[in-house]
Amino acid sequence: MAEVERDPFTGRETTGHEWNGIKELDTPIPRGVLMFLIVTHIWAIAWWFFVPAWPLGTTYTKGLLGVDQHTTVEARVVEGQRQRAAWTSRLETEPYEAILADQTLMRTVRDTGRQLFGDNCAACHGRDGKGRANYPDLTDDDWIWGGTPEMIEQTMRVGVNSPHPDSRVGQMPAFGRDEMLDRDQVRNVAAYVYSLSHPDYASAQTSARIDAGREVFATTCAACHGENARGSAELGAPNLTDAYWIYGGDLDTIIATVHGGRQGHMPTWDERLSKAEIRTLALYVYDFRNGAR
Partner 1 sequence: MLANLTSSERQNALVIAVAVAIAGAAMAIAGRADVMGVHGVIVMLFGGVVAWLVMGSLYAPEPAEDRSASYYDDPIKVGIALAMVWAVFGMFMGVWVAAQLAWPSLAFDAAWSSFGRLRPMHTSGVIFGFGGNALIATSFHVVQRTSRARLAGQVSPWFVLLGFNLFCVLAVSGYLLGVTQSKEYAEAEWYADLWLVIVWVTYFILYIATIARRKEPHIYVANWYFMAFILVVAILHIVNNLALPVSWGHAKSYTIWPGVQDAMVQWWYGHNAVAFFLTAGFLGMLYYYLPVRAQRPIFSYRLSILSFWGITFFYMWAGSHHLHYTALPHWVQTLGMTFSVMLLVPSWASAGNALLTLNGAWHRVRDDATLRFMMAAAVFYGLSTFEGSFMAIRPVNSLSHYTDWTVGHVHAGALGWVALITFGSFYTLVPSLWKRERMYSAALVEWHFWLAIAGTLIYVFAMWNSGIIQGLMWRTYTEEGALAYSFVDSLVAMYPYYIARAFGGLLFLIGALVGCYNIWMTVRAAPVAAARGSDVPAHPAAVPGE
Chain residues in the site for partner 1 (CB under 8 A) = 1, 7, 9-10, 14-15, 17, 19-29, 33, 36-37, 40-41, 43-45, 47-48, 51-55, 60-61, 67-70, 80, 83-84, 86-87, 108, 111-112, 114-119, 122, 127
Task: Identify which of residues 128 and 166 has a Cβ nearer to partner 1 in the complex.
Answer: 128
Task: Identify which of residues 116 and 283 has a Cβ nearer to partner 1 in the complex.
Answer: 116
List Cα–Cα distances, 269 to 53, 152, 215, in angstroms.
40, 12, 40
Closest approach of partner 1 to the CB of residue 109, in Å: 10
Closest approach of partner 1 to the CB of residue 135, in Å: 15
Q: What whole-number distance in Å separates Cα of residue 138 and Cα of residue 113? A: 14
Closest approach of partner 1 to the CB of residue 110, in Å: 11
Task: Identify which of residues 4 and 292 has a Cβ nearer to partner 1 in the complex.
Answer: 4
List Cα–Cα distances, 185 to 150, 212, 229, 258, in angstroms.
39, 8, 17, 10
Task: Identify which of residues 244 and 269 has a Cβ nearer to partner 1 in the complex.
Answer: 269
Closest approach of partner 1 to the CB of residue 113, in Å: 9
Closest approach of partner 1 to the CB of residue 233, in Å: 29
CB atoms within 10 A of CB 30: 9
Q: What whole-number distance in Å separates Cα of residue 159 and Cα of residue 157? A: 6
Closest approach of partner 1 to the CB of residue 124, in Å: 12
Q: Which residues contact 127 (CB under 8 A, 6 or more apart)?
A: 117, 118
Closest approach of partner 1 to the CB of residue 9, in Å: 4
The torsion of the CA quartet 276, 278, 279, 284, rounded to 10 degrees, works out to: 120
Task: Identify which of residues 78 and 223 has a Cβ nearer to partner 1 in the complex.
Answer: 78
Task: Identify which of residues 21 and 163 has a Cβ nearer to partner 1 in the complex.
Answer: 21
20 class by beta-carbon count within 10 Å (0-12 exposed, 13-18 middle, 19+ buried): exposed
3-state secondary structure of 6: strand
Task: Identify which of residues 36 and 272 has a Cβ nearer to partner 1 in the complex.
Answer: 36
What is the distance between the terminal CA atoms of the chain, rounded to a whole angstrom? 90
Q: What whole-number distance in Å separates Cα of residue 63 and Cα of residue 48? A: 7
